[in-house]
Amino acid sequence: MKNERLILVTNDDGYASKGFAAAIEVARRFGRVVGVAPETPQSGMSQAITMYNPLYLRKVREEEGVEVYSFSGTPVDCVKMAFDYLLREERVDLLISGINHGSNSAVNILYSGTMGAAIEGSFYGCPAVGLSLDDHGADADFDAAQLFGTRIIETLFSGPVELPLCLNVNVPVGRPEELRGIRLCRQNRGFWREEFYRHEDPRGREYFWLTGAFVNEEPDADDTDEWALRNGYVAVVPVQTDLTDYGQLRNLCRFFPSAIDSDPASRK
């Protein structure tokens, strides 16, 4: 039954963000909702945790079926606070992280606080979905992200899933009826090339603003999340935390034959 489920919602744009409110509306369709989100925007925090400063938690909203907390830490701090303190005696059935302003496709997953929180949630043995919309605008339309996020979650709840499970879901800009559907795909290979713009403050001290552009290393590949977004599909990428490069591990066996007793890459 709907009310038997407990859904945890977090994000990296802050508890007052429009995307967080949209994610809560998605979550409440499936059960009781507890939201724990950063007090201030925490984009780009990845898996960062707070170790040398005190952390402050306050309840900012309570109504039937929904509790929302503001937390002074990072997105991963929010997940840890929820699982290890607020909900330590309860079973969480799903973690939703988002809805993020801006895509977390390709290498962005490594920088993303949204996906850092989703990955952290998967460590606790519940399915986790990072949900992002490819729109940084303050007036972003989250209808499509809500609709397709709901469909994906319904699918997850329709039968047993193999854990750990963490999905990186990115939704292109457009009205729901304009999108072409859901596409399972892999993470695009690419990188960011940054530029630092130097300025001086009124006291003559130099400071810098960071900007940059994404370089797509495989623009013609049609099985990646970047291709899906460019072609009007919702991109769904299952992610894992094993960063071992098994191809290089196999190659290195040739140079360090005495360092291993068998080919570890063959066990993958």
Calpha distance 168→166 (Å, rounded) = 7
Give the residue from 42, 189, 37, 197 showing the smallest Cα distance to 111: 42
Mean pLDDT value across residues 20-32 = 98
pLDDT in tens, 194-241: 899 999 999 999 999 999 899 999 999 999 999 999 999 999 999 999
Q: Which 8-state DSSP code applies to residue 189?
A: P
Residue 2, pLDDT score: 47
The topology under which CATH files domain 2-188+219-249 is: Stationary-phase Survival Protein Sure Homolog; Chain: A, (3.40.1210)
- Give percent of the chain with pLDDT exceeding 70: 96
Cis peptide before 49 (omega within 30 of 0): no
Greater model confidence, 138 or 267: 138
Query: Residue written as tokens 């850092």?
Result: 116
Residue 138, pLDDT score: 87
Confidence of residue 75 (pLDDT cuts 50, 70, 90): very high
Return the C-alpha torsion angle 228, 42, 111, 21, nearest 10.
-20
Q: Is the dihedral of CA 243, 248, 249, 250 positive or negative?
A: positive
Residue 229, pLDDT score: 97
Give the residue from 27, 32, 134, 20 showing the smallest Cα distance to 71: 20
Confidence of residue 254 (pLDDT cuts 50, 70, 90): confident
Contact at 8 Å (CB) between 168 and 148?
A: no
Calpha distance 166→147 (Å, rounded) = 19
Residue 265, pLDDT score: 59
The chain-wide mean pLDDT, for the chain, equals 94
Q: Partners of 162 in the beta sheet?
A: none
